[in-house]
Amino acid sequence: MKQIVRKITAVMMALVVLMSTMSFTVFKHYCGNTLVDTSYFTHAEGCGMEPSSTETLPGCDIVKKNCCADKSLTLEGQKDLKVSQEIQLAKQFFAIIPVVSYQADYLRTETNLPNYRDYHPPPLVRPIFKLEEKYLI
């Protein structure tokens, strides 16, 4: 049971480090006010209504307004991880106390415990409660 808890704890800690250092981007394509496409790893596909270049209407200088918009949301992970090889016992003392206390209280294995399986009480020579005449009523 103890090994299973350690393995689960190690996997959980690895996932915490992985998720805190990973960054990813969510790309969204809007056509007007409507969300058309969402993508997590590549750019979102367009709806086909984007102008190929700045189009002008024939005969006038009015530029056609683009109704589509591309938005991206970037979740940045932690970039500066500090790998420390130096462990000082004085600074880590608060983490050692519960472990030592747990081991002392719950993981105590005594091999010299008395075994009362083959113990038989001495034979009763005379009933003591009759000699002292004390009865529970």
Percentage of the chain beyond pLDDT 70 is 68
Residue 47 near residue 37, CB atoms below 8 Å: yes
- For the residues of 57-114, what is the DSSP string, one character each? -TTS-PBPPP-EEEEEEEE-------------TTTTHHHHHHHHHHHHHHS---S---
Q: What is the DSSP letter of 56?
A: B
DSSP state of 26: E
Q: pLDDT digit string (tens) for 7-55?
A: 999 999 999 888 888 888 889 988 888 888 888 878 778 777 765 555 5
Mean model confidence pLDDT for the chain: 76
Residue 38 is predicted with a pLDDT of 87
Identify the pLDDT of residue 9: 93
Least confident stretch, 61-65, 75-79, 81-85, 104-108: 61-65
